[in-house]
Structure 1
Amino acid sequence: MKNFLDEQLMKSRTVAITGHTRPDGDCVGSCMGLYNYIVENYPEIETDVYLESFAECYKVISRTDEIKKPGDADKVYDLFICLDTSQKERMTENAEKYFDQAKTRINIDHHVSNTGFADIDHVVPDASSSCEVLYDLLDDEKISLAAAEALYIGIICDSGVFKYSSTGEHTMLVSGKLMSKGINTARLIDGVFYEHTYVQARLLGQALLNSQLVLGGRCIYTVVDREMFARFGAGRDDLEGIVEQLRLTKGVEVAILISENENGAVKFSFRSKDIVDVNKVASIYNGGGHIRAAGCTVYDKYEEPLKKFLENIEGQLAANV
C-alpha cells in the first residue's frame, strides 16, 4: 500500500482534500500535510482543500490561508481524499457533494469506528493519528519542512504529546523522521498544545469550577452552555483542552465535556484512562471515535443522554473490578 497514493496522484489532474466537521489538530495537520505535499511535488495538479474554521493555533501550518469553503457550483474532481473522518456524514459541511461526484474517492483514517465509505479505504486503527497513517503513504524524500510540521502537529495533538495509549514505537519512529526535516519541536508543542488565549483560560477555569464528580469519583463531567460562550466571548474552538484537563483529575477514569451548539444540539466529548471504552459509550447515540477518546452529538437536552452514558460507564467499571 506504500505507493498507492502517489499512483493515484499521478493519474489525476484535479484533487480535493477534506476532513471532518469541527476540525482538530490531527484533521488540520493531515489535510494540510497532504496539501503541502501535493502542491510542492505535483504543481501540475489543481488542488483544493476544504475545511471549516479551526483554532487559531493551527494557522502556524503553511498555506492554511489557501483553505477554501465548499461553494454552490458543481465541480467534479479526478480524486477526492477524505482524512481523519470516521463517517461520511461527519465530513466538512457541504463537501459531501464533491466527494459523491469525484471519479475516485479515498478515505484515510485511524478511527476504529470508521465505516469504510470510499472507493479506497485505508484505515489503521492502531495508529496514533491520521497523520501517522498518512506519513506511511508518502515518499519521505518528498516531504518538505512545511508538510512535516503539519504532520507533526497532528501527531502531537492526537497522541497527547506521545502520552496516550495509541502512541507506539512506530509513532516515535515517524515523529523522529519528521523532526529530521528541521522542525522546531518546542515551538510547535507549546504553540498548539499548551498555550491558551485569555478567553480559553477563563472558559477552562469556569468549566473546572462547574465540574461534577460522580460514580464514586471515577467520572467527572462539566457543561459549557450557550450562556458561558456568550459571557466569555468564546467559540467552539475555545473548548480545546478542557476535556483533557478534566481527565487529569486524580482518581478519575472517565472525563466528559458537554457543550451546547447554537442550533440546540449538544456535543459530548469523552476521554478515559485505562479501563472504559468510550467508543462504546458514544455509540449509544451513534457517535464513535477511539477506545480512549470519542464523541457524539445529541439533538436533545443533555440530562437524559448523560444518565445513559453514566450507566454504561458504571457497568464497564464494575466489570473490571
Structure 2
Amino acid sequence: MKLEEQLYDVKRVAIAGHVKPDGDCVGSTLAVYNYIRKYHPEMEVELHLEPIPNIFKFLANADKIDSSYIEKEPYDLFIALDCGDEKRLGNAVKYFHAAKRTFCVDHHISNQNFADANYIFPEASSTCELVYELIDKEKITKEIAECIYVGIVHDTGVFQYSCTSAKTMNIAGRLMEMGIDFSRIVDKTYYEKTYEQNRILGQALVDSQLFLDGKCIASIVTKEEMEKYQVLPKHLEGIVQQLRATKDVEAAIFLYENEDGSFKASMRSSGKVDVAVIMMSYGGGGHIRAAGATIEGNAKEILEGIVKDVEKQLLK
C-alpha cells in the first residue's frame, strides 16, 4: 500500500492524530500534511490537532495546525495517524464520522482497524516509521524527513526501546543522510527540559513508592502539585520512563490528575508485563511495553487496582 493510492480522486483531506499529541503523533501528521501540500497543491488539506508542545513547533508548517474544531463540510478523505481508536481523536472525531472515506495509519497493538482502510503494524517502532514506508522515497524532502525523524526518536526513546529494529535504524540513517540536524533534534525535543519540568520530575521521584518486592514502582502528581510547579500535562512527558529505569523494576505506573478530577495513567514495562492488556481493561490502550488510559476514581484506589493487575501477570 502507498499513500498515493488513498489520495486518488480526492479534493479535500483532513488529517488528525490523538489527543495530547506527542512526538510520533506530531511528526506523522505533519509529515503527511507536508507531503500533500507539496505534491498535491490542488488539494485542500487541513491538519486538526490539539495544541502541540512548543518543542515541536520548529517543524515545517506546524503553524498551520488547526485546533479550533469548528464545523466543516464533509471531507473526501480523513487520515487518522497514531490513533488506536476513534475516541482518541478527541474533537476531530466529528470530521472522521462525516468523511466520505477514512484511512488509519497506526502501530498500537490495541487498534481494531476502525477506519475504512487501515495500515496497522504493531511491530513497527512508530507511526512515523510506517509513514516512511507509505511515501515514495524520492519524494521525501528534508522537511518531511525532520518530521519522521522526530516521531521515530520519541517513540523509540532515542533508539533504546525494544520496538527499535534494524529497519528502524536503517530508516533513521537514510533520514540523517538528507541533511537534517539530527543531534539538535534529539537534544532540543527529547533531552532538554525546563527548570519547572526538572522540579516536578524530582518531586515525582521523591514521592514514588515500590510495590511487589521492588518489581513495580509508582508515583502520583496532583493538580495542586502541577500548579505549585507551574507545569501542564504536556510537561510531564518522560516521568514514567524515568521511573521504569529504576533497577529491578518490571513495571512503572505514573498517574497525574486531570482538570476534571480523573487521572491519566501511564505505564511502562521492562518486558515481563504486558501493560497494553492492563490499560485496555481501563478503556485505554497502547503497546506491550508502553500504554495508558484515563481513569475515573480515587488515585489510591486506582493505583491499588493497577498494582494488582501487574502482580497477576508476574505470578503467571
Q: Does 1:52 align with 2:50?
A: yes
- 1:189-240 deviations in Å (ceiling 9; x for gaps): 1111100011111111111111111111111111010001110111011101
Kept after mapping to 2: 8 A contact 1:33/1:147: yes
Partner residue, 1:191: 188
Q: How many residue pairs align between the two structures?
A: 316
Kept after mapping to 2: 8 A contact 1:70/1:95: no
Kept after mapping to 1: 8 A contact 2:48/2:69: no
Question: For 1:14 and 1:268, how far apart are their aligned partners in 2?
Answer: 36
2:281 aligned counterpart, secondary structure: helix
| Paired AA for residue 54 in structure 2 | E
Within-5 A mapping of 1:212-231: 212-231=209-228
Kept after mapping to 2: 8 A contact 1:284/1:309: no
Bigger mean CA deviation after superposition, 37-46 or 118-127: 37-46
Question: For 1:99 and 1:283, how far apart are their aligned partners in 2?
Answer: 22
Partner residue, 2:278: 281
Partner residue, 2:310: 313
Query: C-alpha displacement at 1:312, in angstroms?
Result: 1.6
2:272 aligned counterpart, secondary structure: coil
Partner residue, 1:117: 114
Within-5 A mapping of 1:4-23: 5-23=3-21
Partner residue, 2:84: 86
Structure 2 gaps of 5+ residues are none
Bigger mean CA deviation after superposition, 306-315 or 76-85: 306-315
Query: C-alpha displacement at 1:287, in angstroms?
Result: 1.4
Alpha-carbon distance change, 77 to 306 in structure 1, aligned in 2, over 3 angstroms = same
CA RMSD of aligned residues (A): 1.1
Alpha-carbon distance change, 72 to 56 in structure 1, aligned in 2, over 3 angstroms = closer
Question: For 2:109 and 2:59, how far apart are their aligned partners in 1?
Answer: 27
Q: Percent identity?
A: 47
Structure 1 gaps of 5+ residues are none
| Paired AA for residue 16 in structure 1 | A
Within-5 A mapping of 1:248-287: 248-287=245-284
Q: TM-score, normalised by structure 2?
A: 0.97
Kept after mapping to 2: 8 A contact 1:265/1:297: yes
Given candidates 24, 27, 45, the residue that maps to 2:25 is 27
Query: C-alpha displacement at 1:54, in angstroms?
Result: 2.4
